[in-house]
């Protein structure tokens, strides 16, 4: 068996982003660029049926501070029992975090709160451990907060603080790539992995199975998984095909 085959597989997390009760995809995370793909429950069930072990579920309205899709999220999680759900969007205090776990999320992806309220973020990282991932949404080396509408500080300074707090996992998104089908930012991922021993999940820009092959090659450096969104919805490849490539 070759060394490559001994490498752990790349975990794929198909994304279900919810706005106004619908499954949507944005371009570069910008409000108003939504393309609608119908019922989020149907989307999640389809990914589960195709073999997803994880689903990355996002409440975009909560992330943008313009409402929430709690009932849709709850129904979606209920319909894909047996599949792990990573939930993101608008989780900024004890109440919203506890509610997200109560409705069945296996892991919470903290974004803005980790940047704007570091003391709280450190306390929930200590309390919940593996159930907390920290989303690092980046333009260049500047973090983006509040649904990517505000600057959230320097990536490396924030990472140093999160490392000290014991963050269990990072979800790294190049905002300029997200929803563009232009390929992931491999260099950014390498730089982040050089600064942590924690697992990293990539997000943004995947356009082809070749991109998944390129990410698969980063697994020995600490890349655990990747979120896949628009490419799946646009039919660039199927989740079954992507899972096959990710496990080779």
pLDDT at 90: 87
Give CA angle at 76 (237, 181), nearest 5°.
30
pLDDT computed for residue 2 by the predictor: 47
The pair of three-digit structure tokens given for residue 103, joined into one six-digit string: 């409705």
Strands, DSSP E only, in 89-233? 107-110, 132-139, 142-145, 150-154, 170-174, 200-203, 223-228
Q: What is the pLDDT of residue 121?
A: 92
Q: Are 181 and 99 in contact (CB under 8 A)?
A: no
The reply to whether 59 belongs to the active site is: no
Q: What is the pLDDT of residues 33-64, one digit of tens each?
A: 777 788 999 999 999 999 999 999 999 999 88
pLDDT digits (tens, 9 = 90+) for 127-176: 999 999 999 988 887 887 655 555 668 899 999 999 999 999 999 998 88
The predicted-structure confidence for 64-92, as pLDDT tens digits, reads as follows 888 999 999 999 999 999 999 999 998 98
Write out pLDDT tens, residues 190-240.
999 999 999 999 998 899 999 999 999 999 999 999 999 889 988 999 999
pLDDT at residue number 145: 64
Res 4 pLDDT > 80: no
Active-site choice (61, 137, 178, 211)? 137
Return the pLDDT at 26.
73
Q: What is the pLDDT of residue 1?
A: 41
To the query of whether residue 17 is one of the catalytic residues in this protein, the response is: yes
């Amino acid at each position: 068996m070759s060394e490559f085959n001994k490498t752990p597989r790349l975990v794929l997390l198909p994304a279900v982003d919810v706005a106004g009760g619908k499954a949507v995809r944005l371009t570069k995370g910008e409000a108003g660029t939504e393309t609608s793909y119908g019922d989020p429950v149907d989307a999640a069930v389809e990914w589960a049926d195709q073999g997803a072990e994880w689903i990355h579920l996002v409440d975009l309205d909560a992330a943008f501070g313009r409402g929430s899709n709690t009932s849709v999220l709850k129904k979606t999680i209920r319909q894909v029992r047996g599949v792990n759900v990573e939930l993101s969007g608008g989780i900024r205090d004890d109440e919203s975090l506890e509610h997200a776990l109560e409705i069945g999320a296996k892991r919470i992806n903290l974004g803005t709160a980790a940047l704007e309220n570091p003391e709280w973020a450190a306390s929930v990282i200590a309390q919940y451990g593996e159930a907390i991932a920290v989303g690092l949404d980046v333009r260049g080396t500047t973090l983006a907060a509040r649904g990517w509408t505000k600057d959230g500080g320097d990536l490396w300074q924030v990472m140093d603080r999160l490392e000290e707090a014991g963050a269990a996992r990072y979800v790294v998104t190049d905002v300029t790539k997200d929803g563009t089908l232009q390929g992931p930012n491999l260099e950014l991922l390498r730089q982040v992995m050089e600064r942590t021993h924690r697992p990293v999940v990539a997000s943004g820009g995947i356009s082809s199975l070749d991109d998944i092959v390129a990410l698969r090659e980063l697994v020995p450096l600490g890349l655990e998984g990747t979120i896949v969104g628009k490419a799946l919805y646009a039919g660039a490849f199927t989740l079954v095909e992507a899972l096959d490539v990710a496990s080779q």
